[in-house]
C-alpha cells in the first residue's frame, strides 16, 4: 500500500531552507510519498539531494524527486509571458507541485514540463526486501 | 550602503583573483553520461594522456578529479583551463544495484558510501566553477529532475553552461530531444568515446569561455 502525504505550502512557508528540506525528507523516510503544493528554491533542491546523500544507509536508499512548474513554458512570448511573469511574481514558489518519494517505494518519476508519471515498485517485491 | 561598498570590493577582488588563475571548467551530469570519457577525450587530445577510469557500472568516478593547465588551440585562438571531472549526481544510491552486476556485498556497500560522498562533493564544487559542461546521455530522457536541478542551480549562480549530448554513435541517440528540453542552452552532440564531432565541441568551448 502506498501512502501519500499532501503538504500545503503554508506548512513550509515560514520554515528555513533546512527546515523545509528536513520536513520533506522526514516524511519520505517514513515510507510516504510527499506531494508538496509549490516548489523548493533551486538551491534548496540541490541541498535536498546533498542531505539525502548524507543519510543514505542500508535501509534508506535515497529519494525520487520531481518538480513541476507550469509557468516554465518553452518559447513563450508576448501576452502569455507577461501573464506568467505576473503570476510568478504574485505566487512565487507557491505555484507548481513537488513530488518526493522514497526510492524503496518509487521506482521512477517520468516528467515533462506539464505532467508527472510516478511508477511504484512491486509491493510484493518491496515487502520481500524489507523482510530480510 | 556599507554592504553595497563591501559587495563591490568583494566582487572586484574576486574578479581580480579569478583573472590570475586559469578558468575552472567543470564536467557535471547524472551517472554514466560519459563525463570521464569526455575528460579522457580532452586530455588525450591535448595532453596525450587519460584522466580517469571509466566503467559501464554507475558511479565509477566517486571523487573529484582535476587536470590542471589544459591548453587548447583552434583557428588562432587559445584557451587554458583546469578541467574538473565530478562524480555523477543522483538522488538515490542502492548498494544492491552494484551486487546485481556481480559485486560482493562489502565492496558494493563501500562503493555506495563513496558514491554518496562524491555526490555531496560535486554539489559543493558548483560554487567554484567558472564554466560548466553538462554531459548527458543522448539515448536517455533528458527531463530528469537531476538534470533540471543541476542546470537550475548553475543558472541561479550565473555560471555559463554548455550541454553535451553524448553517445551520438548509438542508434537511440536523440539530440533534438535534449535541445527541446533545454532550449535556452547550446547543445553539441558528440561521441566522447570515438571522438565524433570533437572539433565542434572545442569550438563551442571557445564560445562558452567568451
The pLDDT assigned to B120 comes to 97
Cell of B182: 533545454
Q: Taking Cα atoms as reference points, which of A48, A54, A61 lies closest to residue A22? A: A48
Whether residue A105 contacts residue A33, with contact meaning beta carbons closer than 8 Å, is answered with: yes
- 3-class DSSP state for residue B191? strand
Answer whether A46 sits within 8 Å of B149, measured CB to CB: yes
B143 vs A contacts (CB less than 8 Å): 110-113
Centroid of chain to Cα B79: 18
B114: exposed, middle or buried (Cβ count in 10 Å: 0-12, 13-18, 19+): middle
> Which of A82-121 are b and which e, b meaning 16 or more Cβ less than 10 Å from the residue's Cβ?
eebeeebeeeebebbebbbbbbbbbebbebeeeebebeeb
Q: Which residues in chain A have Cβ-Cβ distances shorter than 8 Å to B156?
A: 42-43
Query: How many Å apart are CA B206 and CA B166, to the nearest integer?
Result: 19
pLDDT of residue B134: 98
Q: Is B99 left (phi over 0), alpha (psi -120 to 50) or beta?
A: alpha
- Provide, as residue numbers in chain A, all residues whose Cβ is less than 8 Å from the Cβ of B148: 67
- CB contact at 8 A, B22 and B80: yes
Q: What is the ipTM of this complex?
A: 0.84
How many angstroms separate the CA of residue B197 from the nearest CA in chain A?
27
Q: Which residues of chain B carry a pLDDT beneath 50?
A: 17-20
pLDDT at B98: 92
Domains of chain B: 22-209 (3.40.50.300)
Strand order in the sheet with A3-7: A3-7, A32-37, A97-102, A63-68
Among B134, B156, B128, B130, smallest CA distance to A40 is for B156
User: Could A61 and B93 be called an inter-chain contact, meaning their C-beta atoms sit closer than 8 Å?
Assistant: yes
Instruction: Please state the rounded mean pLDDT for residues A97-123.
Output: 84
Cβ of A40 under 8 Å from any chain B Cβ? no
A88 pLDDT more than 80: no
Nearest to B161 by CA among B197, B99, B207: B207
DSSP A63: E
In this model, does residue A131 exceed pLDDT 50? no
For the segment B79-102, what is each residue's pLDDT rounded down to a tens digit? 999 999 999 999 999 999 999 988
Amino acid at each position: 500500500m502506498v501512502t501519500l502525504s499532501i503538504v500545503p505550502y503554508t506548512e513550509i512557508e515560514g520554515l528555513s531552507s533546512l527546515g523545509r528540506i528536513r520536513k520533506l525528507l522526514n516524511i519520505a523516510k517514513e515510507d510516504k510519498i510527499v506531494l508538496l503544493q509549490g516548489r523548493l528554491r533551486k538551491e534548496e533542491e540541490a541541498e535536498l539531494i546533498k542531505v539525502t546523500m548524507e543519510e543514505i544507509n542500508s535501509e534508506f536508499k535515497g529519494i525520487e524527486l520531481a518538480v513541476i512548474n507550469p509557468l516554465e513554458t518553452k518559447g513563450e512570448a508576448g501576452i502569455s509571458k507577461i501573464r506568467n511573469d505576473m503570476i510568478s511574481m504574485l505566487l512565487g514558489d507557491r505555484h507548481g507541485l513537488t513530488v518526493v518519494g522514497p526510492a524503496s517505494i518509487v521506482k521512477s518519476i517520468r516528467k515533462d514540463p506539464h505532467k508527472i508519471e510516478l511508477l511504484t515498485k512491486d509491493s510484493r517485491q518491496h515487502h520481500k526486501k524489507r523482510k530480510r | 550602503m556599507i554592504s553595497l561598498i563591501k559587495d563591490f570590493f568583494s566582487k572586484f577582488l574576486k574578479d581580480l583573483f579569478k583573472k590570475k588563475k586559469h578558468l575552472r571548467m567543470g564536467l557535471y551530469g547524472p551517472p554514466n553520461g560519459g563525463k570521464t570519457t569526455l575528460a579522457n577525450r580532452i586530455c588525450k587530445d591535448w595532453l596525450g594522456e587519460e584522466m580517469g577510469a571509466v566503467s559501464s557500472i554507475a558511479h565509477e568516478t566517486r571523487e573529484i578529479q582535476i587536470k590542471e593547465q589544459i591548453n587548447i588551440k583552434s583557428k588562432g585562438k587559445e584557451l587554458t583551463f583546469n578541467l574538473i571531472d565530478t562524480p555523477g549526481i543522483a538522488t538515490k544510491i542502492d548498494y544492491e544495484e552494484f551486487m546485481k552486476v556481480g559485486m560482493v556485498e562489502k565492496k558494493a556497500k563501500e562503493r555506495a558510501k563513496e558514491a554518496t560522498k562524491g555526490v555531496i562533493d560535486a554539489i559543493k564544487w558548483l560554487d567554484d566553477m567558472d564554466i560548466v559542461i553538462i554531459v548527458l546521455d543522448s539515448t536517455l530522457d533528458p527531463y530528469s529532475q537531476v538534470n533540471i536541478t543541476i542546470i537550475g542551480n548553475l543558472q541561479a549562480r550565473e555560471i555559463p553552461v554548455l550541454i553535451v549530448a553524448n553517445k551520438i554513435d548509438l542508434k537511440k541517440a536523440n539530440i533534438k530531444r535534449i535541445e527541446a528540453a533545454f532550449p535556452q542552452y547550446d547543445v553539441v552532440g558528440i561521441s566522447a568515446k570515438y571522438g565524433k564531432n570533437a572539433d565542434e565541441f572545442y569550438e563551442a568551448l571557445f564560445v562558452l569561455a567568451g
